[in-house]
């Protein structure tokens, strides 16, 4: 017997559509076949993660019932009992310590409906100011830069199809070949059409193999490099003066600043010499059309916001935006990294990108929710700052929904210590993640095969994901968990939903008139049209594929240059910690690996964490290939296997982020926060490395069993 389910990949922001065909055999075993479905982003392609995503969703490890921890051990309980325990604990903690003693921590894999509801749940059911989400570590620098420069943050300002038509592409700190693999054909086609590709990355990644010019930058110095590029563009008259005059503000100040810089200083900082800076600046400056893409390599630094703004300066100075083949892309990460940042799970936001501290915005959303504006709390703090409040015991109870913060936060040891101090931790997840293992109560949530809802992909296209496969055991949708809990807290009237579409109908109205306006989008339309770009205020009108054609989103219609002053990176190598460690992703694993490590096919590709190190550097520290090494920073250390490769800078090592515990790169990362967006300085930590000796290995075996 056969059954087939149309859905979307649960992983990255491309949101490839797929069909999962289940063949049920007479012995009750099932086998699965996966087909890519046509769609405007991946055009039917799937990468290895998408093809194997069904494996974790169908894994025996899936949570099936709520689990309550008593005397250190989990036991299954009913939903009734679980909801009672949570409501009792939350209410007791709030009555003793105030409404803000309970915090909520969401994620960018949640559907728009669940993310919207999490924000509403915080403000209406719990009335706590403390709600934030993992996108803080992901999109916050690019998002805040887009808002400041353009007046609006949407991942791509242009449809993907325009990539193929552009003459010059800058890929800064983005490894599309491993992180959004099904988009690579757009870039290879652009190259076939004659485009010049410039890659900025400390490693020769699969993406960098595409480059005509590869700037192998020192981690944490992109801001200086972008300033150097602008200096050459200005010096060699490659700007677009009429665009600057008619469509932007603030160029003069930037001009004065970059003119004062010396390329030799920028070389000293970035490791990129004057000739290469000039070559890249000319390629971008002289091209008639060009696009710049940034991702976490540029953004996850203490100056991530300003680094992105410096790249946006290049776009504005050359007038390369608002027309075909000209624009910017913040390469969004998680499946709903885009929608997840629009509808209110962020500490300072309300739906539709409205601001919780803005009186008009509060009044509007309060009217949609049927509460008094004064009853809405004020803004809270960012994800890592929430962990600081947990550590300080200002936050006493926490509900984590769709994130694994004890692995993904910087300075993970501190975060773990904080979570242990909580009076009550609830985690809603698919699995017993590292964070769920620490919880007092764990709730089983539904996965992509089972959970219908909308997600907004990196282009800003809203997509409806099917989710018809029955959930395992008693797993519930995230939005339902929130609704059920709200009812237990006496707020049922505000959370009356019986399906995702009803929530979307409310979200449409709540976002109406906001920057990310979804009012014109309906489920019926999404079923008909495959996807709709926001902003889409009109049910009969099209969405906006290309942004900023005539005006930017600031009140005066103009874009803003930023004087982006560069300094040294958050942490630099010194005698004690002589190397710089950066980090990121591998093709076959996803984020903290909770899902992909439960897929046998994906796990088999990469079984354990590694450290990429240059052979000459390895020799200096007497490290052989494939040896276990300890990588230590001022904050903590991890044990990983060395992988010698000449593709990385000699002064840099790279450790992926897909493992927890003793292999967790975040044991060592730096929680220094960007002042504008509170992005942690994940990608530059000074470290020392050493191969483990026999005594270390014996000790390790003893502790790790
Ligand atoms: N396979 C896979 N795909 C994913 C994910 C995953 O976990 N696995 N996660 C998804 C998510 S949530 C996200 S946010 C995206 C992330 O997508 P990316 O941002 O592309 O991924 P990263 O590997 O973190 O970083 C990209 C590149 O930045 C480089 N880099 C490191 N430091 C610096 C620096 O200081 N400057 C510059 N210019 N480059 C630097 C790294 O060498 C790396 O090649 O991927 C999404 N897709
Ligand atoms: N060192 C370092 N650290 C980083 C980064 C880096 O580049 N370097 N990148 C940062 C970035 S960009 C990101 S996005 C974060 C991600 O950090 P996390 O949010 O911790 O990442 P995930 O591993 O996706 O965790 C998601 C959890 O939710 C569960 N889950 C999946 N789908 C659902 C669902 O629909 N409902 C529920 N309830 N649960 C679900 C999964 O099983 C998993 O346990 O990590 C950040 N941390
Ligand atoms: S991981 Fe991304 S590129 Fe790969 S199939 Fe899933 S959505 Fe598509
Ligand atoms: Mo991300």
Measured CA to CA, the distance from residue 623 to residue 644 in angstroms comes to 9
Cα 110 versus chain centre, distance: 12
Query: Containing H/E element for 325?
Result: none
**Rounded average pLDDT over 542-555:** 95
> Which structure tokens are listed for 687?
């470290």
Report pLDDT for 700: 81
The 10 Å Cβ neighbour count of residue 359 is 9
Report pLDDT for 642: 98
Measured CA to CA, the distance from residue 610 to residue 41 in angstroms comes to 32
Which of 533, 567, 594 is where one domain is finished? 533
Q: What is the pLDDT of residues 19-36, one digit of tens each?
A: 999 999 998 888 999 999
Q: First vs last Cα of the chain: how many Å apart?
A: 44
Q: What is the pLDDT of residues 184-225, one digit of tens each?
A: 999 999 999 999 999 999 999 999 999 999 999 999 999 999
**Rounded average pLDDT over 678-700:** 93
Same domain, 147 and 231: yes
Question: For a substitution probing ligand 3, which of 53, 108, 182 has the most ligand atoms within 8 Å of its CB?
Answer: 182
Q: What is the pLDDT of residues 264-300, one digit of tens each?
A: 999 999 999 999 999 999 999 999 999 999 999 999 9
> Which structure tokens are listed for 30?
């099932």
Spell out the residues 6+ positions from residue 387 whose beta carbon is closer than 8 angstroms to its own: 405, 409, 414, 415, 418, 419
* Residue 705 in this model has a pLDDT that exceeds 60: no
Of all residues in the chain, the percent with pLDDT exceeding 70 is 100
Same domain, 314 and 219: yes
The number of the ligand 2 atom at minimal distance from the alpha carbon of 408 is 47
Measured CA to CA, the distance from residue 329 to residue 65 in angstroms comes to 41
Ligand approaching nearest to the C-alpha of 16: 3
The number of the ligand 1 atom at minimal distance from the alpha carbon of 200 is 38
Q: What is the pLDDT of residues 58-97, one digit of tens each?
A: 999 999 999 999 999 999 999 999 999 999 999 999 999 9
Ligand approaching nearest to the C-alpha of 7: 3
54 occurs within a structural domain:
no
Report pLDDT for 230: 98
Task: Return the residue matching tokens 């769920």.
Answer: 436
569 occurs within a structural domain:
no
Q: How far is ligand 4, taken at its centre, from the CA of residue 102, in Å?
A: 25
Measured CA to CA, the distance from residue 402 to residue 411 in angstroms comes to 20
Question: For a substitution probing ligand 1, which of 207, 218, 297, 591 has the most ligand atoms within 8 Å of its CB?
Answer: 297
* Residue 178 in this model has a pLDDT that exceeds 90: yes
Q: How far is ligand 2, taken at its centre, from the CA of residue 529, in Å?
A: 30
Q: How far is ligand 2, taken at its centre, from the CA of residue 630, in Å?
A: 24
Angle between helical axes of 222-235 and 274-286 (0-180°, round to 10): 60
Same domain, 443 and 495: yes
Report pLDDT for 28: 84
Question: For a substitution probing ligand 2, which of 62, 106, 109, 132 has the most ligand atoms within 8 Å of its CB?
Answer: 109
Same domain, 167 and 300: yes
* Residue 477 in this model has a pLDDT that exceeds 90: yes
Domain enclosing residue 501, as ranges? 85-137+337-533
The number of the ligand 1 atom at minimal distance from the alpha carbon of 203 is 42
Q: What is the pLDDT of residues 103-141, one digit of tens each?
A: 999 999 999 999 999 999 999 999 999 999 999 999 999
Question: Please, which residues bridge with residue 132 across strands?
Answer: 105
> Which structure tokens are listed for 513?
């008139």
Pocket of ligand 1 from Cβ distances under 6 Å:
12, 49, 138, 172-175, 178-180, 200-203, 205, 217, 219-220, 222, 295-298, 333-334, 582, 584-585, 587, 589-591, 654, 683
Q: What is the pLDDT of residues 433-465, one digit of tens each?
A: 999 999 999 999 999 999 999 999 999 999 999
Sheet arrangement for strand 461-465: 453-456, 461-465, 532-533
Q: How far is ligand 1, taken at its centre, from the CA of residue 652, in Å?
A: 15
| CATH label of the domain that carries residue 107 | 3.40.50.740
Q: What are phi and psi of 637, to 5 degrees?
A: -145, 165
71 occurs within a structural domain:
no
Contact 289, 169 (CB under 8 A): no
Measured CA to CA, the distance from residue 414 to residue 411 in angstroms comes to 6
Same domain, 207 and 250: yes
Residue nearest to atom 12 of ligand 2 (CA): 138
Q: What are phi and psi of 330, to 5 degrees?
A: -90, 110
The number of the ligand 3 atom at minimal distance from the alpha carbon of 590 is 1
Q: How far is residue 463 from each of residues 232, 359, 430, 458, 598, measured CA to CA in Å? A: 41, 31, 22, 11, 27
Same domain, 341 and 469: yes
Helix (H, G, I), strand (E, B), or coil: what is residue 218? coil
Contact 352, 514 (CB under 8 A): yes
Query: Containing H/E element for 57?
Result: helix 48-57
Report pLDDT for 500: 98
Report pLDDT for 1: 86
Which of 271, 305, 335 is where one domain is finished? 335
Task: Return the residue matching tokens 């403390």.
Answer: 130
Residue nearest to atom 23 of ligand 1 (CA): 584
Contact 314, 230 (CB under 8 A): yes
Which of 533, 560, 588 is where one domain is finished? 533
Pocket of ligand 2 from Cβ distances under 6 Å:
107-110, 134, 137-138, 296, 300, 333-334, 401-405, 407-408, 428-431, 433, 445, 478, 583-584, 591-592, 594-595, 657, 665-666, 669, 682
* Residue 238 in this model has a pLDDT that exceeds 80: yes
* Residue 488 in this model has a pLDDT that exceeds 70: yes
Same domain, 639 and 669: yes
Residue nearest to atom 5 of ligand 3 (CA): 50
* Tally of structural domains, the chain: 3
Measured CA to CA, the distance from residue 181 to residue 666 in angstroms comes to 25
Same domain, 527 and 658: no
Side-chain half-sphere of 69: how many Cα atoms within 13 Å?
Answer: 16
613 occurs within a structural domain:
yes
Q: How far is residue 485 from each of residues 75, 77, 90, 380, measured CA to CA in Å? A: 20, 16, 10, 22
Report pLDDT for 519: 98
Report pLDDT for 704: 65
Considering the chain, what is the average pLDDT of its residues?
A: 97
Same domain, 132 and 148: no
Residue nearest to atom 7 of ligand 3 (CA): 15
564 occurs within a structural domain:
no
| CATH label of the domain that carries residue 621 | 2.40.40.20
> Pairing between strand 327-330 and 290-294?
parallel
Of all residues in the chain, the percent with pLDDT exceeding 90 is 96
Spell out the residues 6+ positions from residue 682 whose beta carbon is closer than 8 angstroms to its own: 137, 296, 300, 301, 410, 583, 666, 669, 670
């Amino acid at each position: 017997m056969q059954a087939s389910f149309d859905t979307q990949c649960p992983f990255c922001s491309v949101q490839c559509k797929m069909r999962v065909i289940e063949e049920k055999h007479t012995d009750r075993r099932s086998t699965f076949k996966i087909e890519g479905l046509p769609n405007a982003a991946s055009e039917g392609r799937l990468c290895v993660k998408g093809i194997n995503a069904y494996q974790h969703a169908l894994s025996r490890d899936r949570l099936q019932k709520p689990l309550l921890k008593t005397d250190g051990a989990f036991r299954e309980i009913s939903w009734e009992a679980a909801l009672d325990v949570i409501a009792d604990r939350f209410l007791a903690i709030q009555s003793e310590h105030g409404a803000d003693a309970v915090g909520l921590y969401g994620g960018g894999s949640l559907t728009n409906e669940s993310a919207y509801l999490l924000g509403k749940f915080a403000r209406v059911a719990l009335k706590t100011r403390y709600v934030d989400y993992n996108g803080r570590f992901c999109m916050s620098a690019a998002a805040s830069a887009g808002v400041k420069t353009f007046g609006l943050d949407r991942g791509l300002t242009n449809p993907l199809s325009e990539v193929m038509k552009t003459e010059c592409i800058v890929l800064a700190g983005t490894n599309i070949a491993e992180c959004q693999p099904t988009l690579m054909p757009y870039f290879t086609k652009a190259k076939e059409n004659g485009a010049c590709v410039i890659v900025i990355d400390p490693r020769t990644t699969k993406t960098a193999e595409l480059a005509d010019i590869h700037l192998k930058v020192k981690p944490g110095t992109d801001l200086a490099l972008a300033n150097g590029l602008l200096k050459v563009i200005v010096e060699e008259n490659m700007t677009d003066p009429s665009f600057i005059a008619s469509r932007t503000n603030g160029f003069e100040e930037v001009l004065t600043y970059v003119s004062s810089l010396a390329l030799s200083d920028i070389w000293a900082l970035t490791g990129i010499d004057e000739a290469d800076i000039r070559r890249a600046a000319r390629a971008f400056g002289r091209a008639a059309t060009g696009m710049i893409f940034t991702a976490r390599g540029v953004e996850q630094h203490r100056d991530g916001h300003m680094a992105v703004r410096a790249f946006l300066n290049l776009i504005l100075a050359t007038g390369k935006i608002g027309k075909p083949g000209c624009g910017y892309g913040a390469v969004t990460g998680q499946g709903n990294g885009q929608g997840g940042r629009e509808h209110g799970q962020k500490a300072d936001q309300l739906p539709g990108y409205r601001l919780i501290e803005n009186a008009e915005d509060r009044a509007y959303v309060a009217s949609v929710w049927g509460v008094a504006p004064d009853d809405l709390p004020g803004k809270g703090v960012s994800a890592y700052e929430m962990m600081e409040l947990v550590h300080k015991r200002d936050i006493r109870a926490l509900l984590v929904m769709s994130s694994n913060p004890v692995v993904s936060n910087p300075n993970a040891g501190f975060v773990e210590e904080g979570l242990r101090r909580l009076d009550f931790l609830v985690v809603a997840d698919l699995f017993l993640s590292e964070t769920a293992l620490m919880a007092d109560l764990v709730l089983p949530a539904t996965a992509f095969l089972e959970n219908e809802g909308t997600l907004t992909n990196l282009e800003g296209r809203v997509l409806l994901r099917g989710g018809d496969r029955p959930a395992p055991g008693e797993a519930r949708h995230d939005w339902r968990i929130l609704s059920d809990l709200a009812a237990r807290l006496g707020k049922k009237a505000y959370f009356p939903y019986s399906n995702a579409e009803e929530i979307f109908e409310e979200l449409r109205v709540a976002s109406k008139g906001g920057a990310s306006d979804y009012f014109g989008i309906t489920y019926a339309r999404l079923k008909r049209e495959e996807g709709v770009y926001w902003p889409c205020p009109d049910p009969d009108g099209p969405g906006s594929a290309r942004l900023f054609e005539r005006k930017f989103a600031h009140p005066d219609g103009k874009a803003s240059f930023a004087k982006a002053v560069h300094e040294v990176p958050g942490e630099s190598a010194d005698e004690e910690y002589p190397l710089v460690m950066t980090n990121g992703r591998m093709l076959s694993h996803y984020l903290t690996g909770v899902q992909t490590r439960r897929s046998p096919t994906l796990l088999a590709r990469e079984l354990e964490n590694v450290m990429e190190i240059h052979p000459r550097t390895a020799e200096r520290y007497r490290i052989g290939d494939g040896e276990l090494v300890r990588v230590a920073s001022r904050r903590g250390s991890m044990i990983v296997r060395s992988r010698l490769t000449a593709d990385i800078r000699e002064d840099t090592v790279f450790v992926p982020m897909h493992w927890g515990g003793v292999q967790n790169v975040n044991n060592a990362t730096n929680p220094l926060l960007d002042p504008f967006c509170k992005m942690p300085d994940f990608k530059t930590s000074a470290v020392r490395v050493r191969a483990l000796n026999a005594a270390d290995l014996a000790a390790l075996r003893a502790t790790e069993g």
